[in-house]
Structure 1
Amino acid sequence: MATALFRSEHTHDFTALSLKPDHQNRPLRVDGRGGLILENFHPLAPTVQDFLVTIAEPISRPTFLHEYRLTTHSLYAAVSVGLNSNDIITTLDRFSKNTMPPNVARYIQHCGKSYGMVKMVLKDNKYFLETADPDILQMLLQDAKVRACRVQGTAEITTTATKADTVAIAGTSIAGGIREAEGLASHGRGRHSEYEPRTGAETLRLLDDDDDDDDDERGVIHALQIMDDKVGAVAERCLALHYPVLEEYDFRNDHANANLEIDLTPGTQIRPFQEKSLTKMFGSGRAMSGIIVLPCGAGKTLVGVTAACTIKKGVVVLATSNMSAIQWKNEFIKWSNINPEDIALFSSDNKSVFTGTTGIIITTYSMITNTRERAYQSAKMMQFLRDREWGLMLLDEVHVVPAQMFRRVIGSIKAHSKLGLTATLLREDDKIEDLNFLTGPKLYEANWMELSQQGFIAKVQCAEVWCSMPTEFYQQYLETGPRTRLLFCVMNPTKFQACQYLIRYHESRGDKIIVFSDNVYALEAYAKKLMKPFLYGGTSNAERQLVLDYFRNSPDCSTLFLSKIGDTSLDLPEATCLIQISAQYGSRRQEAQRLGRILRAKRRNEDGFNAFFYSLVSKDTVEMVYSSKRQAFLVDQGYAFKVISQLKGMDKMSNLAFGTAQARSELLQKILAEVDTKSWKEEEARERAGLLADGNMFYGPDGKPLRKGARRVAGVLKDLSRGQDMAYIERNKSANKSMKTKNSSRHKFFKSIARENERRRNAE
C-alpha cells in the first residue's frame, strides 16, 4: 500500500521540492518518500521533536540533524493516541521548509481513514472484535480467515460505548493533587519539574482535541466473539486488510474485576520523560496497548509499576529469567505501597500465590510457553492464570516476544491491556514487525542523548580499541575455519594485555568494571588469569546472587566477568566501566543492551564523561566487520566511537600478561590443544541451550536468529537408543564356553541340521 502511494512524484528526485519563502524560519524538511529531516539546532526543534516522535519512526538522532520516517505503524500509533489526519498534515506543513508532497498527504489521509476503526476488547473472559461501523464488521466477516476465527453459534452483539475522561497518571503532579484533595495522601503532593516538556497537546492541539469524538464514543458499537487462541491471527489478518486492531481498556468502568490496592509511595514522583511516555498510553482516557522504548537505566521498571498503579487491576509480569522476576518483585515493593502478600512468583523454584481477590503474578516467558507435561503445582498455577481476567500484562524485554514460542503467551493469558518495555526494539530478522499485532504499536521512544544531557542517564565515552595480533597467532587465524577464528580473536594476547591495562587503570580511579565475553572459554581464561570472579550460564542462581551482591557492596571486588547472562535484566547501578572482549557477531541489540549496564545515572557528578565503554577488537580480523555492524544502532542514537590504536603506557606496565615470547608460545599451544578437543564449543553449546529458553535472542554470523530446530549431524545408531554412554561387558566367559558343549540344551531342529552337515562333510 505504502509503496504504491510513494511511487509517484518526488520519489527520488529531491530537486523538485519547492522551498517556501521563509524556509529558514522552519526546522523541518519533508520528502516524497515519507522521510523527515529535523534541524535539531533550530529554536522550534523541541516542540517539533515531540510531535515527530508521535507520528514517525526515529531513524537517526545525532547531535544536529534528526531523521524520521513515516510508516503505516507509526501513523497507526499516532491515531491510537487521538490524532487525526488533518492535524498531522497541517502540523507538518506548518513546520516544513518545503511544500508538502501530495503523495505524502494522500498516504496520511489513507491511514487516518482506517486506523482505529476496529478494536479488540476483553469482556467476561471472552474476546470481542468491535467497531462502530457495521459495514466494516460485515466486510471483515466476508474474509474467510476472520470468519474461521469467530466463535460458531454466537450472534452479533450491539452495545453503547462509554465516554472516556482524562486519566490521572500515578506519580504525576495531577495525581498528587487529586490524592490531596481526597485526603488520601496529604504529603504526596507533586511538583512541576522545570524540565517538564510541552506535549503536542499543549502546543499543537494534538492530544486533547477529543471533543469531536464524543459523539462517536456515545454511539452504537457492533461486536462479534473471537476464539481465545485466534486473537493473534485475527489481529494479523486485520492488519493485512488495512484495519489494524486497536486494543484499549476502559479500566475505570470495569466493575467485574476486583480493584488492586496499589499506589506509588508518597515520595515517588516519576520523571518528565516517564510521564510523557505514559501520557501516550493513557492519553485517550483508557489504557492503550503498545510499546514504550526507554534506554537502559532510564527507569523502564518504574514506568511499568506506575502503569499498574494507574490501572489498579490484576497484573501479570513476564520477565526473561528467574533473577529478573525477583528484581521485578523487589521494584514493586520499593516503589509502591502494595502488600507483599499480594505479589506472587511463578518460576521453576517458586510457585506462590497471592492471598487476596486480585494481585500481581510475576513469571518468566519460558514458564508460560512450556509445552512439556507440567508438575501438578505448575499445572495448577497455569490454570489459575488462564481462568482469570487480568487488567495489565507487562512484557519486559518485549523484543523477545516475536519468537515463535512466545506467540503462545498472548493466547494463554487474557489481559485487557498489554504494555511492552524495552531499550532496544531490534531484531536482525523481520519478526520485530509482528509486535504491531502481538502487543500494539510503539507509543513512545526516548532520545538517548537528550536524557544524557539532562542527567537522567550517564554520559558515556565509547571507544573501540584496536589490538594487533602477533604473527604466530595471525598465521593460525588465517589457517583455521570461521568458528575457530573467533577463538583466536578473543584469545589474542595483545587484547588480553589491553584488558588487563584498562582494568588496572579504572580500578585505580575507583570505578566498578564489567568485562563481557560471549566466548565462555575465554571468559574463564581471562578471569582466572587476572584472579577475578566470573558468571556464565552454568553458574547456579544462588552463586550468581552471591557474586552480584559481592560486586555491588564490597570495595574488594571492583571487576566482574560476565557472559551473555549479563546482557539483560541485571541491576548493577554501581558499574561505571564496561570492557567487551567478545560479542555476538554483528548484533546491534546486544551492543546497546551492554551499554545499558553502565547507563544508570551515577552518583559522581564530575564534569565530562562519567562512564566508559570499551570494545576490544583484534585488528585486521573479522571482528572489525562485526564491530562496525554492532555500533550502527548506538551511532544512530548520537553516540560517537573513538578509535584507540594504541594504549599509552601499556608496554611499561608491570606484570603484563604474556609479555614474553615464551608465554605467548605457551598460550598458542594451549589454544591449539583446546581447538583439537573442541571442549570450548561444547561449553558454549551448553550455555546457549540454556539461554535460548529466554526467547531466541541470540544470532548467528549471518545476522539471523539461532533456532532450536533439527540439525543434520553424523552419528551412530546407539545415540538414538541413548546407549552412547553404555558398554556391554562379558563377565562370565566360562559359562559361555560351557554352553557350547551342552548339546542337550539345543533344540531338535538345530540338532538335525548339525547331523546333516556332519553327514555331508563325511561324504566328501
Structure 2
Amino acid sequence: MENPLIVQSDRTLLLDVHAPRAEEARSAILPFAELEKSPEHIHTYRITPLSLWNAASAGYTPEGVTAALNEFTRYAIPSGVTEGFSDTMARYGKIRLVAGEGAEELPNELFLVSEDEAIAREIGAAKILDKYLVKGPGFSGFKLKFTDRGSVKRELIRLGWPVQDEAPFAKGEPLDIRLKDPASSGRPFAPRDYQVEAAKAVLGSGGPGSGYGVVVLPCGSGKTVVGMAFMSLLKTNTLILTTNVAAVHQWMEELLDKTELKKEEIAEYTGDSKSVAPVTVATYQIITWRPDKAADFPHFKLFRERPWGLIIYDEVHLLPAPVFRVTAELQAVRRLGLTATLVREDGAEDAVFSLVGPKRYDVPWKDLEGKGWIAEAFCTEIRLELPGHLKIPYAVAAPREKYRLASENPLKEEAVVELIQNHPDDQILVIGQYLSQLDSLAKLLKVPLITGKTPNTEREKIYNAFKKGEVRVIVVSRVANFAIDLPDASMAIQVSGSFGSRQEEAQRLGRILRPKDEGRSSWFYTLVSRYTVEEDFAANRQQFLAEQGYKYSIQHWTAEELALPAPQAEAAK
C-alpha cells in the first residue's frame, strides 16, 4: 500500500487524494501545513514559518511534525527539511516579553529578553524598533513602554521573530458568569467536550504566556459556546466584537439563554443602540466608523469604557485593519479569537497571531462531522454554458466585467428553480453577490430577499420566519455570510461570490452545517459559467474546503436539460 504524501525540499507537500490513507494524512498535517492548490488528484500544501509557529504555540514539537511526515511519506524526506522545521519552530519562545521582578500588577515598563546574544543584537540593530526599545545597564534585554507591547510584537513577527508574551494581564472587574443547565429555553445544555477543551486550551495554566489565543472551529459547531465557556472560566467584564447587528442579537440571546447573566448585565453597542454593561456586544462596523477618512475613530472609546478583563473577537479573520491599531494598545486585556478559518484575504494572518494570539485549538471539520456534531455535507459545482447572445460581449469585456457577466448568467435562474424543485423537503438559502441578480431571483421565486439595505428589524423577522418553517427559501446577499444562526438551513445555492474568496466559501457552507434531525445531510451547490473566469475563481474559493476534506462533484447542465421555455432555450444556443 503506497503512502499518500510526497515531501519536497521546498517545504511543499503533495497529497495523493486517491491513496488509501489520504484522509488520515490530511488530518495529520493540517496543524502545521497550509493548503495552496486542490485540483482533482494531487493537493499541494506548504509548510510556512507562520504555520509552524502556530503548531509550536499549540504544543506541537519538531519531532511530532517529523513523525507525522515520516508516517505518511511515500519517499524519503529530502535532507535538511526536518532540520529546518526545528530551526523555525525554535524561534517561537526565543524572544519573551516579561515584566520586571517585583513589578506591580500592570507595570509601566516591560522587558524584551532573549538568552541568545546574537538574537538580542539582531533586535538591537533593527531600525524599525528604535522608537520602541531602550537598551539600559543592569539588565539583559530591552525596555519598552507597556503601551507599545502590541506594536513591538507586530514588528518583530514581520522580522521573523514571534514573541512569546509572558507579560501580565489586567484582571478586569469581576463578574460572576455561570453556565446554566438546563438553558432558559428548557433544553438540556452542557458544553461539548471539544468546546470545553478549546476554552481550556486558551486559558492554559492561567500564568504567564497563557489566557489569549485563537480557536478554529467549523461554522455550526458552537463557537459561541466556546466563548461563553471561556467567560465562565475568567469571570470578568467582557467586550464581544462581532460582524453585524443580527450577530450581536444572537450573542445576547445565547448569553441570556445559556448563562445566569441578567438582562441588565448585557448591553448592545451598535448603530441602533449604544449602551455599555458588564458584558457588551458590539459590531466591527460601529467600532471602525468615523465621519471622514481624516477623522479619528470616535467609538474606540468603547475599549476604555469599562475595566474589561476579556475581549472576544468573533470571526477574527474579518478583524478590520483599523482595529489592529487598538488591539495593539490593548495587550493588557485577555483576548479570544473565534473563527472557522485563519485565512485572511489581505494576508494579515501574522497580525492576528501577534495581536490576538496564536492558534490554540483546531479540529478538522470532517472529525466533527464523523462524530455527528455538524451535518454531513455534499458539495456540487454545476457548470452552465453562457447563452449565445452573451458570448461575444463576454469575449470583448474587461476582466472585472467578464466576471460579472459570467456570474449573472441568466441560465442560473433556471438552475436555481430546478434545484429547489428537486429538494422539496429542504430549507434553502440562495446566496449571491450582485443585488440585481438577487432581486430578480427573489421575484422569480416569490420569496423574501435580505441585503445590506434591509432594515435590521425586517431581517430578523425574515430569519425568524425561516427558523419556524413559515418560509422555506430566502435569497440573501453577503450579509448572511457571517455569524448568522439559521439552524434548520439544510441547503445553499451559491449563484455568485466575491471572486476567489476562500473565507467566504467556508462561511457559506457553514450556514448549513448545524446537525439536522434524524441525521439528515446538507447540500451545497455552486453555479458556475463554463469556460469563463468564474471557473478559475471557483477553484480558488473551494481551496479551503478541500483542506477540510470536502470534495466537490462536477456536473454539466445544458439549457435543454434545464427544460427551459422555448424562447430562452433558443437564446441559450
1:573 to 2:487 alignment? yes
Q: Give a deviation string over 1:211-235, Cα, whole Å, max 9, x none.
A: xxxxxxxxxx97734252x434311
Query: 1:521 — aligned with what?
Result: 436
Deviation at 1:347, TM superposition (A): 1.3
User: Cα offset for 1:576?
Assistant: 0.9
- Pair 1:422 & 2:339 matched: yes
Verify the 8 A CA contact 2:36 2:44 in the aligned structure 1: yes
**Normalised TM-score (structure 2):** 0.82
2:185 is aligned to: none
Q: Which has the higher helix share?
A: 1
Secondary structure, in 3 states, of the residue corresponding to 2:80?
helix
Q: 2:310 aligns with which of 384, 392, 396?
A: 392
8 Å CA contact 1:389–1:414 kept in 2: the answer is no
The 1:27/1:663 distance shift into structure 2, 3 A limit, reads closer
Change over 3 Å in CA distance of 1:309–1:536 after alignment to 2: same
Distance 1:367 1:496, change over 3 A: closer
Unaligned runs of 5+ residues in structure 1 are 1-23, 159-220, 668-764
Within the alignment, does 1:295 sit opposite 2:218 as a pair?
yes
Aligned partner letter, 1:645: H
Residue matched to 2:374: 457
Mapping of 1:307-706 within 5 angstroms? 307-354=230-277, 359-372=278-291, 382-383=300-301, 385-386=303-304, 388-401=306-319, 403-411=320-328, 413-478=330-395, 480-486=397-403, 488-506=405-423, 508=424, 510-555=425-470, 557-606=471-520, 610-646=521-557, 659-661=565-567
Residues in 2 aligned to 1:308 and 1:549: alpha-carbon distance in whole angstroms: 28
What amino acid sits opposite 1:71 in the alignment? T
Distance 1:645 1:94, change over 3 A: closer
CA distance in structure 1 between the partners assigned to 2:338 and 2:500 by the alignment: 23
Task: Spell out, residue by residue over 1:478-517, the C-alpha distance to the aligned partner (whole angstroms, 9 max, x if none).
Answer: 45555554554445443221111212232x2x21111112
Distance (Å, rounded) in 1 between the aligned partners of 2:160 and 2:534:
43
Write the letter of the residue equivalent to 1:425: L
Residues 150, 329 of structure 2: 8 Å contact kept: no
1:224 counterpart SS class: strand
In structure 2, C-alpha distance between the alignment counterparts of 1:426 and 1:227, rounded to whole Å: 30
Q: Is the 8 A contact 2:27 2:364 kept in 1?
A: no
The 3 A distance-change label for structure 1 pair 464 and 296 is same
Superposed displacement of residue 520, structure 1 = 0.5
| Partners of 1:44 and 1:485 in 2: CA distance | 37
Counterpart contact for 2:179–2:229, Cα < 8 Å: yes
Structure number, greater radius of gyration? 1
Cα distance in structure 2, aligned partners of 1:561 and 1:113: 49
Quick one: distance in 2 between partners of 1:227 and 1:61? 44
Shift of 1:238: 2.2
- Amino acid corresponding to residue 308 of structure 2 in structure 1: W
Q: Given that residues 82 and 283 in structure 1 are in contact (C-alpha distance below 8 angstroms), is that contact kept between their aligned partners in structure 2?
A: no
- 1:433 offset after TM fit, Å? 3.4
Cα distance in 2 between the residues matched to 1:313 and 1:500: 50
**Cα distance, 1:551 vs structure 2:** 1.7
Report whether the alignment pairs 1:77 with 2:58. no
**Alpha-carbon distance between aligned partners in 1 of 2:378 and 2:66, rounded to the nearest angstrom:** 39
In the alignment, the residues of structure 1 paired with residue 373 and residue 460 of structure 2 have an alpha-carbon distance, to the nearest angstrom, of 27
Larger CA deviation: 430-439 vs 344-353: 430-439
Q: Which residue of 1 aligns with 2:192?
A: 271
- Measured in 1, the distance between the counterparts of 2:56 and 2:3 equals 25
- The letter for the 2-side match of 1:494 is L
- Contact 2:212/2:334 (<8 A) preserved: yes
Partner of residue 128, structure 2? 145
Q: Which moved more, 1:489-498 or 1:583-592?
A: 489-498
CA distance in 1, matches of 2:523, 2:222: 20
What percent of counterpart residues are identical?
A: 30
1:119 to partner: Cα distance: 3.8
Normalized against structure 1, the TM-score is what? 0.63
Q: Which amino acid aligns with 2:327?
A: I
Contact 2:172–2:310, Cα closer than 8 Å, also in 1: no
Residue 162 (structure 2) aligns with: 244
Letter in 1 for 2:472: S
Aligned to 1:212: none
The answer to whether the Cα contact below 8 Å between 2:173 and 2:307 also exists between their aligned partners in 1 is no
**Does the aligned pair in 2 maintain the 1:156–1:222 contact within 8 Å?**
no
Query: Structure 2: which 5+ runs fail to align?
Result: 100-104, 183-188
Whether the 8 Å contact between 1:38 and 1:65 is mirrored in structure 2 is yes
Over the residues paired in the alignment, what is the CA RMSD in angstroms?
4.1
Deviation at 1:629, TM superposition (A): 2.6
Whole-Å Cα distance in 2 between the matches of residues 645 and 438 of structure 1?
46
Match for residue 128 of structure 1? Answer: 110
Cα distance, 1:531 vs structure 2 = 1.2
How far does the alpha carbon of each residue in 1:306-364 deviate from its partner, in whole angstroms, 9 at most, with x for none? 2222222222211122222222222222332223322222111212222xxxx222112
Q: Distance in 1 between matches of 2:111 and 2:358?
A: 18
Deviations 1:93-152 (A, max 9, x none): 6887877655234323433544224344695385734547496668645644334125x8
Number of aligned residues: 555
Give the alignment of 1:711-750 within 5 angstroms: none
CA deviation after TM superposition for structure 1 residue 466, in Å: 2.4
Inter-partner Cα distance in structure 2 for 1:83 and 1:318: 30
Query: Deviation at 1:155?
Result: 7.8
Q: Distance in 2 between matches of 1:492 and 1:63?
A: 25
Q: Which amino acid aligns with 1:145?
A: I
2: CA distance, partners of 1:603 / 1:157: 66
Asked if the contact 2:94/2:116 (under 8 Å) is kept, the reply is no
1:452 touches 1:459 (CA, 8 Å); kept in 2?
yes
For residues 70 and 511 of structure 1, what CA distance do their matches in structure 2 show? 40
Residue by residue, what CA displacement relative to the aligned partner does 1:490-549 show, whole Å, maximum 9, x if unpaired? 45443221111212232x2x2111111211111111211221110111111111111111
Q: Alpha carbons of 1:272 and 1:42: their partners in 2 closer, same or farther (altered >3 Å)?
A: farther
